[in-house]
Amino acid sequence: MTFFEAIAKCYRRYFVFKGRAPKSEFWWFYLLAFLFAWPLVIAPWASIYSFIYFILTLSVLFPFAAVWTRRMHDIGKAGWNIFFIFLPVIGWMMILRWTMKAGDEESNKYGAPDNHPFVVPKKSMESK
Protein backbone atom coordinates (compact mmCIF):
# COMPACT_ATOMS: atom_id res chain seq x y z
CA MET A 1 0.00 0.00 0.00
CA THR A 2 1.42 3.38 -0.98
CA PHE A 3 1.40 6.58 1.07
CA PHE A 4 -1.51 8.13 -0.82
CA GLU A 5 -3.56 4.93 -0.84
CA ALA A 6 -3.17 4.60 2.93
CA ILE A 7 -4.10 8.23 3.57
CA ALA A 8 -7.13 8.01 1.29
CA LYS A 9 -8.27 4.81 2.97
CA CYS A 10 -7.89 6.26 6.45
CA TYR A 11 -9.91 9.34 5.55
CA ARG A 12 -12.59 7.22 3.88
CA ARG A 13 -12.81 5.21 7.10
CA TYR A 14 -12.72 8.32 9.32
CA PHE A 15 -14.84 6.95 12.18
CA VAL A 16 -14.63 3.21 11.43
CA PHE A 17 -13.24 1.44 14.47
CA LYS A 18 -14.20 -2.06 13.32
CA GLY A 19 -12.09 -4.27 11.11
CA ARG A 20 -8.36 -4.48 10.64
CA ALA A 21 -5.56 -2.31 9.25
CA PRO A 22 -2.21 -3.60 7.98
CA LYS A 23 1.11 -2.21 9.18
CA SER A 24 1.61 -0.15 6.04
CA GLU A 25 -1.70 1.67 6.45
CA PHE A 26 -0.93 2.51 10.08
CA TRP A 27 2.65 3.69 9.53
CA TRP A 28 1.84 5.77 6.45
CA PHE A 29 -0.91 7.54 8.38
CA TYR A 30 1.44 7.97 11.34
CA LEU A 31 3.89 9.68 8.98
CA LEU A 32 1.14 12.04 7.82
CA ALA A 33 0.24 12.90 11.43
CA PHE A 34 3.90 13.55 12.17
CA LEU A 35 4.29 15.76 9.10
CA PHE A 36 1.21 17.78 10.08
CA ALA A 37 2.14 18.18 13.72
CA TRP A 38 5.84 19.00 13.95
CA PRO A 39 6.13 22.03 11.67
CA LEU A 40 3.30 23.68 13.53
CA VAL A 41 4.64 22.81 16.96
CA ILE A 42 8.19 23.93 16.24
CA ALA A 43 7.32 27.14 14.40
CA PRO A 44 7.44 30.28 16.55
CA TRP A 45 4.35 31.65 14.82
CA ALA A 46 2.23 28.64 15.76
CA SER A 47 0.42 30.59 18.46
CA ILE A 48 -0.85 33.07 15.85
CA TYR A 49 -2.32 30.25 13.82
CA SER A 50 -3.52 28.17 16.76
CA PHE A 51 -6.99 27.82 15.21
CA ILE A 52 -5.46 26.36 12.03
CA TYR A 53 -3.33 24.05 14.17
CA PHE A 54 -6.44 22.97 16.09
CA ILE A 55 -8.32 22.17 12.84
CA LEU A 56 -5.36 20.25 11.40
CA THR A 57 -4.98 18.31 14.63
CA LEU A 58 -8.65 17.34 14.64
CA SER A 59 -8.45 16.34 10.99
CA VAL A 60 -5.75 13.82 11.90
CA LEU A 61 -6.79 12.84 15.44
CA PHE A 62 -10.00 10.91 14.74
CA PRO A 63 -8.70 8.95 11.74
CA PHE A 64 -5.54 8.18 13.71
CA ALA A 65 -7.59 6.80 16.61
CA ALA A 66 -9.56 4.68 14.13
CA VAL A 67 -6.49 3.34 12.32
CA TRP A 68 -4.82 2.65 15.69
CA THR A 69 -7.81 0.57 16.76
CA ARG A 70 -7.90 -1.29 13.47
CA ARG A 71 -4.13 -1.90 13.72
CA MET A 72 -4.55 -3.45 17.17
CA HIS A 73 -7.36 -5.59 15.78
CA ASP A 74 -4.97 -6.81 13.08
CA ILE A 75 -2.74 -8.38 15.72
CA GLY A 76 -5.68 -9.66 17.77
CA LYS A 77 -5.72 -7.00 20.50
CA ALA A 78 -8.34 -4.50 21.56
CA GLY A 79 -8.00 -0.83 20.65
CA TRP A 80 -8.10 0.08 24.32
CA ASN A 81 -4.44 -0.87 24.53
CA ILE A 82 -3.67 2.74 23.58
CA PHE A 83 -3.84 3.49 27.29
CA PHE A 84 -0.52 1.70 27.77
CA ILE A 85 0.98 4.96 26.50
CA PHE A 86 0.54 6.28 30.04
CA LEU A 87 3.04 3.72 31.35
CA PRO A 88 6.40 5.40 30.80
CA VAL A 89 9.03 3.40 28.92
CA ILE A 90 7.46 -0.08 29.37
CA GLY A 91 4.14 0.99 27.86
CA TRP A 92 5.89 2.80 25.02
CA MET A 93 7.97 -0.26 24.21
CA MET A 94 4.84 -2.45 24.25
CA ILE A 95 3.04 -0.09 21.88
CA LEU A 96 6.02 0.10 19.54
CA ARG A 97 6.28 -3.70 19.51
CA TRP A 98 2.58 -4.13 18.76
CA THR A 99 2.56 -1.61 15.93
CA MET A 100 5.57 -3.28 14.31
CA LYS A 101 4.26 -6.82 14.73
CA ALA A 102 2.97 -8.59 11.63
CA GLY A 103 -0.79 -8.98 11.57
CA ASP A 104 -2.58 -12.30 11.74
CA GLU A 105 -2.64 -13.88 8.29
CA GLU A 106 -5.92 -15.66 8.97
CA SER A 107 -9.19 -14.25 10.20
CA ASN A 108 -9.29 -13.45 13.89
CA LYS A 109 -12.13 -12.30 16.14
CA TYR A 110 -12.00 -8.85 14.51
CA GLY A 111 -12.47 -10.10 10.95
CA ALA A 112 -10.46 -11.03 7.89
CA PRO A 113 -7.20 -9.27 6.95
CA ASP A 114 -7.83 -6.03 5.10
CA ASN A 115 -4.93 -5.50 2.72
CA HIS A 116 -6.89 -3.73 0.00
CA PRO A 117 -5.71 -0.20 -0.69
CA PHE A 118 -9.30 0.91 -1.13
CA VAL A 119 -12.44 0.30 0.85
CA VAL A 120 -14.21 -2.65 -0.75
CA PRO A 121 -17.98 -2.77 -0.17
CA LYS A 122 -19.16 -6.03 1.39
CA LYS A 123 -21.56 -6.69 -1.51
CA SER A 124 -18.76 -6.84 -4.06
CA MET A 125 -16.68 -9.08 -1.79
CA GLU A 126 -19.56 -11.54 -1.35
CA SER A 127 -20.24 -11.72 -5.08
CA LYS A 128 -16.66 -12.91 -5.82
pLDDT digits (tens, 9 = 90+) for 51-79: 777 777 788 888 999 999 999 898 888 88
What pLDDT does residue 43 have?
Answer: 64
* 76-128 per-position pLDDT tens digit: 888 888 888 888 999 899 989 988 888 888 888 888 887 665 665 556 555 55
- Between 69 and 39, whose confidence is greater? 69
Domain limits, the chain: 3-126
Q: Which of 33, 23, 28, 25 is nearest to 61 (CA)?
A: 33
Q: Kindly report the pTM of this predicted structure.
A: 0.74
Q: Which of 79, 57, 56, 84 is nearest to 68 (CA)?
A: 79
Mean pLDDT in residue range 6-15 = 86
Q: Hey, what amino acid is at 20?
A: R
